[in-house]
Amino acid sequence: MIGRRFQLAAAVSGVLVLAAGLAAQEPRQGVRAELLTQMRALAEQTKVTYESGTRQPKLAEQPVFRYDDQPRRFIDATVWAWIDGGRPVAFQKVEASIDDVTGMAKWGYCFASLSENRIAAEWEHGQKFRATEAGVDFRLMPNAPPVADRNTARKRQARDLAREFSARILLNPRTNSTEEMRLLATPIHKYEDSAGEYLGAAFGYSTSGRNPDLLILIEARESEGKLGWCYAPVRMTIGGVTIKLHERTVWDVPFIEPKPQDFPTWTFFYRPRTPVAGEGQP
């Protein structure tokens, strides 16, 4: 009898703990839902266009990636993609954060071209950006296997090829502080053509949480009359980044002073934000 009473008490205690846990999650889920609504609105208010021609990219209905970044005090963040013919031609991070110095809530924007054509962007508050060169420069992957016929095999090939890269970020040039970047567990975005044939994926590399500071696109592209695996790095950080493939440096960009400004293929800036009730501190 005593054993049964103990088991019953333990079961009741477990139910109460579970219920308390679920109750604690409800406010957080409400905050995330509201932040997503706001981030979606900001993405929809961003106008992305090609510099010439009548064909224009379209914003994907859902964010292609969602993350937070506690070390940088990012409460919630999303990555949005503009698509043309199945391919992503621009990515934009929208990040809800708390300023380290002032403690004020703010929105962080980071916009990057992934287009081989020059594109422009304009935001609801009037800020504008115009890329002065192509956002990506695809290069043939050396010693890559032939592009598989089936989508499942292609996805596996792209993933294996992404693992062949290593990246290191320069965080502070004054102290020469660097850190190895890690490949995120899942691609930021996988994409197909209109016929449903797998074209490639954008793989994210990070040092802080799941924040993709570096992207490498692995894509099946026609080269010399046949499909071949190609890659193109995309920068979304002020940190200096060095990429190696099989221990050989294939891409290197310098550290940039942390002040909002425009660059040839990307830009970043901040806007004030009204905190969501119950969001707390990161």
pLDDT tens readout for residues 64-92: 999 988 888 889 999 999 999 999 999 99
- Alpha carbons within 13 A on the beta-carbon side of 182: 8
Does 24 score more than 60 pLDDT? Answer: no
Please give the mean pLDDT across all residues of the chain.
Answer: 89
Q: Cβ(119)–Cβ(51) under 8 Å?
A: yes
pLDDT at residue 281, rounded to an integer: 60
Does 181 score more than 90 pLDDT? Answer: yes
pLDDT at residue 4, rounded to an integer: 54
Q: Which of 267, 275, 236 is nearest to 253 (CA)?
A: 236
pLDDT tens readout for residues 12-21: 444 333 333 4
pLDDT at residue 209, rounded to an integer: 82
pLDDT tens readout for residues 205-255: 998 789 999 999 999 999 778 899 999 999 999 999 999 999 999 999 999
Q: Cα–Cα distance between 63 and 60 in angstroms, integer? A: 7
Does 39 score more than 50 pLDDT? Answer: yes
Q: Cβ(78)–Cβ(63) under 8 Å?
A: yes
pLDDT at residue 143, rounded to an integer: 92
Q: Cβ(77)–Cβ(65) under 8 Å?
A: no
pLDDT tens readout for residues 139-170: 999 999 999 999 999 999 999 999 999 999 99
pLDDT at residue 12, rounded to an integer: 42
Does 265 score more than 50 pLDDT? Answer: yes
Does 262 score more than 80 pLDDT? Answer: yes
pLDDT at residue 282, rounded to an integer: 57
Sheet strand arrangement including 47-50: 47-50, 119-122, 128-130
pLDDT at residue 226, rounded to an integer: 87
pLDDT at residue 17, rounded to an integer: 36
Does 264 score more than 60 pLDDT? Answer: yes
pLDDT at residue 249, rounded to an integer: 98
Number of neighbours of residue 132 by Cβ within 10 angstroms = 11
Query: Averaged over 245-268, what is the pLDDT?
Result: 92
Q: Which of 1-10, 157-166, 267-276 has the lowest mean pLDDT?
A: 1-10
Does 7 score more than 70 pLDDT? Answer: no
Does 107 score more than 90 pLDDT? Answer: yes
pLDDT at residue 267, rounded to an integer: 96
Query: Averaged over 175-201, what is the pLDDT?
Result: 95
